[in-house]
Chain A
């Protein structure tokens, strides 16, 4: 099969999956089998593409010329390749998890859930393989719309309100700002192709470049850079598999991925460095990074805390792009992969805890670690990876970012990164600590026990709690193992990404 056929297939496969899932809606087992098969097939296709990409010229394909000169086209480049591997690989794990979670919690409208999920993955792959900004924009919008039903899934007033915030912010920023930026780029340069070294050099004056960059970056709401981050906590009302794969991986990574693409292929790192257009972005990213961590500290709802942690971690990627140096780009890009693996683990664990105990608030979770050792073990590994401690994958991305700050002499940024790591420790590790050590031995001083009012003594209550179903526990263990593996195999990731850092 030729590379371009594979590329088209990588989009058609999840789409066909969505259709088949719809047809198989009557029989849940068949439906889930279709999901799993589609996910596995998609991963196989993406891996085949990876091998082809490593072996020779990048596969590319032109799908359709929408308007004169404006094409829907796909082309593989390192960053997108990495993103596609992550998204498709984690979809498999997440599908296993979804089965456990959705059935464990007896969610309604599961067919709609799986259909929208498949479409969302299709658009994430589309974003990854886009050959130009227009194609990327198209898939970006499909992604926003296809995930809306997932966010509003529960159909409660709260879910509806969150859905409104979600769609309003994402569509609002992308149509309101990013589209203007894209058309501006088009009017100024006559092309939207992703080109190494950027296309804006000499076409947009240095004074206007920061404004254009602002339109782009604020328009890419999915990157959740403050102040357009509100949709992400809102999206946490969705079932946990959605939060895990979409709002820790596919959707938010599509956002920062787009920021990276814009920085590297539209502006060009040199152009950014020369004009200093990204200086303000660096400060904004630093602010977002710290502020979100501090907000996370104050959140007692586990998923909300993780969401703000995501906002903060995404800013690392934006910061990497804004530093406008090869190491910054490298660190930011690696962060996309590392954070994906780590954060999905954390969300899986949060969902497993919810499935097993129906608890969402951190103070209620004291002592749960002893009842659910696998879940909490995975959580610990994921947390360490997010913090950036060896031997977890997350340490590499932080490392390259630190080098980048040293390279550019941005000592303040270096400080910000260090403080942020400390904050990460402060908001993640206590969860694990309380899980293992707090609770049963201590007197029932926490609100949690009062809330459980009629329940018997805490010990017996805990004993009644067991690990979540296998389908809920296995996935976080797998991804936790992935976090460790990424530490040892970061080299291959480095080699994959290396071409984009060369001028």
Chain B
């Protein structure tokens, strides 16, 4: 009985819990509640994924209003996988967040932090699970609004969090509004908002100018949300000044949901046969992705603050995901989808390390990490492992992503791209190694009182690091799911 309602429970459980946690005066209670809720939603997402893998897609009609009139939640391999990533990271962050949040946010705001956190989770899960275009917009805004609030909570330690949140709010709202304009225009032409129905009704309207404009608005709108270069300007500051736990959560999930939405619109709604899709990919996405990979990585090399350095690295990594889709091939999309998962694991772990450093040292810059290899051995070992994964060393998840991406480039005969992909990953070697050198080969300041991070932060970090290794050594499951997802999006037989 309950299993039939899993899709709606996935969204509604955190949604209901959010106001409840606002009523908890004490942060501890709110934390327990959020942890339980996140664990439940993680369990639900796993159940959904298993169900989808066994039975194909699930269609859930909200209030039993038949699609395409009512809102339909439609779960297939692709979004079940993304749901699992988001709720999984959401759960992993919470044990970590307690200590980190207690140190970085004023006590009276802490319970509210968990409210915003749960709302953000709701929004992200909702925009991934829904099969309705306008519903996706609503959830996008729920997640965005709560994200602005979460980022602004960083003001407890640095006032720049406020201006970062404000910039993010302005850019995010413009992006979301573009998105909704696009939806309005396709609705105008088709009279439907259901994604599957839209896909069917857009057949034959390929050359309609309104649809073309809608396509442009939707791609730009989502592009802003996923920080596609050069629309990434909000991201570095937002990540750098948000509370550490928020950075971990955002870096690992928020852009993933946006990438998913882009995939859904490009491949399900407009479809692989849409005439300007190939053009967009070749002349827009490929150059932008390359620019992101090189420009953002280069900027990352020159950063002094580590959070901002990794934030730029995220922009570069988004470039990989976008490049993967631009090949329009099964291998390319597999690379994109598997990188959603892999990047969540590595960036989650790396930002967790930075949070631990911030907790002990007050800030994470090249100055404060000198000699930390000896003072915080477990924390820094986690950084090294996560960094190797980011570089794409074999037996880490980073390698798996890179493998598929390069294979896709070679398959399509664009071997210069293959070379560029690996060259850009060498830039990652530079910025990761700067940290390693500072932490291991420099002496700690004589008066350094840094001690190892508390277990509540180390354990989640190492769980993610272990996942980095595990799914790097045995990528069978993830690559099967990703390739099934890619085939589904491209409409290729399994």
- Chain A residues at the B interface, C-beta cutoff of 8 Å: 64-68, 70, 72, 134, 137-138, 141-142, 145, 149, 152, 155, 159-160, 163-164, 167-168, 171-172, 175-177, 179-180, 183-184, 186-187
Contact = CB atoms under 8 A, between A and B. Distances in A.
A141 B394 contact: yes
B82 to A, nearest CB: 20
A386 B204 CA distance: 76
A183 B429 contact: no
13 contacts: A65-B474, A66-B400, A66-B472, A67-B475, A68-B479, A72-B473, A163-B441, A164-B437, A167-B429, A167-B433, A172-B426, A180-B406, A180-B410
Given A176-B422, A187-B410, A187-B411, A64 B429 contact: no
Interface in B14-28: none
Interface in B354-393: 388, 391-393
B474 A145 contact: no
Q: Which of A64, A72, A145, A180 has the most CB of B within 10 A?
A: A180
A65 B441 contact: no
A152 B425 CA distance: 23
Contacts, number: 84
B419 interface: yes
Contacts of B475: 66-67
A142 B394 CA distance: 8
Contacts of B29: none
A183 B407 contact: yes
Contacts of B474: 64-66
Given A67-B400, A177-B422, A187-B410, 20 more contacts: A67-B403, A67-B476, A68-B479, A68-B480, A142-B394, A142-B395, A164-B437, A167-B433, A171-B391, A171-B429, A172-B426, A175-B392, A175-B425, A175-B429, A176-B423, A176-B426, A180-B406, A180-B418, A183-B418, A187-B411
A177 B420 CA distance: 11
B419 to A, nearest CB: 6
B426 A64 contact: no
B65 interface: no
A172 B423 CA distance: 8
A138 B388 CA distance: 13
Given A66-B474, A155-B441, A167-B433, A180 B393 contact: no
Contact of B479 (A67, A138, A168, A176): A67
B69 interface: no
A6 to B, nearest CB: 22
Interface in B451-494: 472-476, 479-480
Of the listed residues B406, B425, B441, the one surrounded by the most CB atoms of chain A closer than 10 A to its CB is B441
Nearest to A134: B394
B388 A145 contact: yes
Nearest to A175: B422
A161 to B, nearest CB: 10
Contacts of B395: 66, 138, 142
Contacts of B415: 180, 184
Interface in B147-189: none
Query: Which secondary structure characterizes the binding site on chain A?
Result: helix
A134 B388 CA distance: 18
Nearest to B338: A67
B199 to A, nearest CB: 30
B441 A160 contact: yes
A141 B426 CA distance: 14
B340 to A, nearest CB: 16
B200 to A, nearest CB: 33
Nearest to A138: B394
Interface string B408-419: 001100010011
Contacts of B400: 66-67
A183 B393 contact: no
A172 B429 contact: yes
Interface in B95-128: none
A65 B475 CA distance: 8
B441 A171 contact: no
B407 A180 contact: no
B476 A68 contact: yes
B392 to A, nearest CB: 7
Contacts of B440: 149
B442 to A, nearest CB: 8
A163 B403 CA distance: 27
A183 B394 contact: no
The 3 closest A-B pairs by CB, nearest first: A138-B394, A183-B406, A187-B410
A149 B381 CA distance: 13
B433 A164 contact: yes
B473 A175 contact: no
Contacts of A177: 422
Contacts of A65: 474, 476
B401 to A, nearest CB: 11
A64 B433 contact: no
A472 to B, nearest CB: 27
Contacts of A137: 394
Contacts of B473: 64, 66, 72
Contacts of A180: 406, 410, 415, 418-419, 422
Contacts of B423: 176
A120 B411 CA distance: 34
B301 to A, nearest CB: 13
Contacts of B407: 183, 186-187
A141 B472 CA distance: 14
Contacts of A164: 433, 437
A127 to B, nearest CB: 12
A137 B394 CA distance: 8
Contacts of A184: 410, 415, 418
Contacts of B411: 187
B473 to A, nearest CB: 6
B410 A171 contact: no
B441 A168 contact: no
A134 B473 CA distance: 12
A64 B472 CA distance: 11
Given A67-B479, A137-B394, A183-B403, A171 B437 contact: no
- Residue among A138, A176, A183 facing the most chain B CB atoms (10 A cut-off): A183
A170 to B, nearest CB: 10
A179 B430 CA distance: 18
Contacts of A138: 394-395
A160 B437 contact: yes
A145 B418 contact: no
B410 A145 contact: no
Contact of B393 (A141, A159, A160, A187): A141
Contacts of B430: 168
A179 B422 contact: yes
A116 to B, nearest CB: 12
B78 to A, nearest CB: 19
Contacts of A175: 391-393, 422, 425-426, 429
Nearest to A135: B394
Contacts of A183: 403, 406-407, 410, 418
A168 B433 CA distance: 9
Contacts of A141: 393-394
A180 B419 CA distance: 7
A187 B479 CA distance: 16
Nearest to B429: A171
A228 B472 CA distance: 29
Contacts of B393: 141, 145, 171, 175
A155 B402 CA distance: 32
Nearest to A160: B441
B177 to A, nearest CB: 41
Contacts of B392: 175
Nearest to B424: A176
Nearest to A184: B410
A239 to B, nearest CB: 15
Contacts of B441: 152, 155, 159-160, 163
A138 to B, nearest CB: 4
B240 to A, nearest CB: 26
